[in-house]
Amino acid sequence: MKGNPNAHLTAKERDKVSYPTRKLYNMGVIEGEVLDFGSGFGKDAEFLNAKGISCTNYDPHYAPDYPTQKFDTILCQYVLNVLLPEEQAEVLMSVSELLKPSGKAYFTVRRDLKRFGYRTHYVHKVPTYQCNVKLPYKTFFINDFCEIYEYRHFTQVDNGKGGIFENPPPDTELISELATVYSIYDKYPVNKGHALVIPKRKSRNYFDMTDKEKTACQIMVERVKTILEKKYQPDGFNIGFNMNKAAGQTVFHTHIHIIPRYKGDVENPRGGIRNVIPGMGDY
């Protein structure tokens, strides 16, 4: 939040439930254990709890206890519009990680913005940020004022494509997800916690990706590294990709390997990836 310290001041001090949450409630799609992510003052959670729906609210400023469980339904109402792109990425990854494999999340974004970028908040008189947001998810509802996207894990959506990385099976464990890239555990791990970062659009190798996809992959690599460090406490990592058959590539859809390393997992780790050519590691 260093470049956008006043994002929390855009939360409306409403005294009742937000329009999108009421809309989703009336449509009967808010089910199971619910999380209101970026809840502001918590009025949506109050409304749902009063209706007998168990709802936890999280907001980094107003309700800062980060959730420790996974949820069936996650609501994220009018949050992305007031965040910088890197902050939006943080929210998308967090929601994907907090959602159960069978769950659904609903992102509501404004469609009535007239000005973009930084502006002086009319009440608080400090710079606040706002922008238009488009997501590659299913549009669940739209009017002149807002659009509600429905998000499910990429591993749970049959997009009709045949590639193993374009349409991964539903029993694949998702680690984290962004709009253009996702991460899973390798089906044939070479070490505990071996993970893959994969762009959703098929490209043959890293150099065929767009700059946007490369940036998303970099963000995801750093995110997955942090998750693996917390979960497995490795002593190091090998991170990289194979390009073309001569370099050992077998699945011709770009994917980056993140391989945790542990003391003693090989007799002599000296040289690291240089050992792809036998005898060239010890130099």
For 51-107, give the secondary structure using H, E and C: CCCCEEEEECCCECCCCCCCEEEEEEECCHHHCCHHHHHHHHHHHHHHEEEEEEEEE
Nearest by Cα to 260 from 231, 228, 217, 224? 228
| pLDDT (mean) for 201-208 | 94
**Amino acid at the residue 228:** L
User: Residue 6, Cβ neighbours under 10 Å: how many?
Assistant: 15
**Amino acid at the residue 3:** G
Give whole-number Cα distances, 120 to 84, 148, 149, in Å. Answer: 16, 27, 29
Helices and strands: H and E segment counts in the chain: 4, 13
Q: Quick one: what percent of the chain has pLDDT higher than 90? A: 84
| pLDDT (mean) for 43-65 | 97
Using CA atoms, how far apart are residues 211 and 87, in angstroms rounded to an integer? 19
Nearest by Cα to 116 from 149, 147, 142, 82? 82
| pLDDT (mean) for 240-245 | 94
Structure tokens at 230: 């917390």
Among the ranges given (102-106, 113-117, 199-203), the one the predictor scored with the smallest mean pLDDT: 113-117
Structure tokens at 252: 């011709």
Query: Per residue in 61-89, pLDDT tens?
Result: 999 999 999 999 999 999 999 999 999 99
Catalogue the active-site residues. 255
Beta bridge partners, 127, equal 120
Query: pLDDT band at 12, cuts 50/70/90?
Result: confident
Using CA atoms, how far apart are residues 35 and 91, in angstroms rounded to an integer? 13
Q: Is the dihedral of CA 249, 251, 252, 257 positive or negative?
A: negative
Tell me: pLDDT of 278 over 60. Answer: yes
- What integer pLDDT is reported at residue 1 of this predicted model? 53
Residue 104 CB contacts under 8 Å (≥ 6 apart), including other chains? 29, 72, 73, 74, 150, 151, 152
The structural domains of the chain, ordered by start, are 7-152 (3.40.50.150), 174-276 (3.30.428.10)
Q: Are 202 and 163 in contact (CB under 8 A)?
A: yes
- Pairing type for strands 34-37 and 55-58 reads parallel
- What integer pLDDT is reported at residue 245 of this predicted model? 94
- What integer pLDDT is reported at residue 2 of this predicted model? 65
- Pairing type for strands 127-130 and 117-120 reads antiparallel
- What integer pLDDT is reported at residue 32 of this predicted model? 98
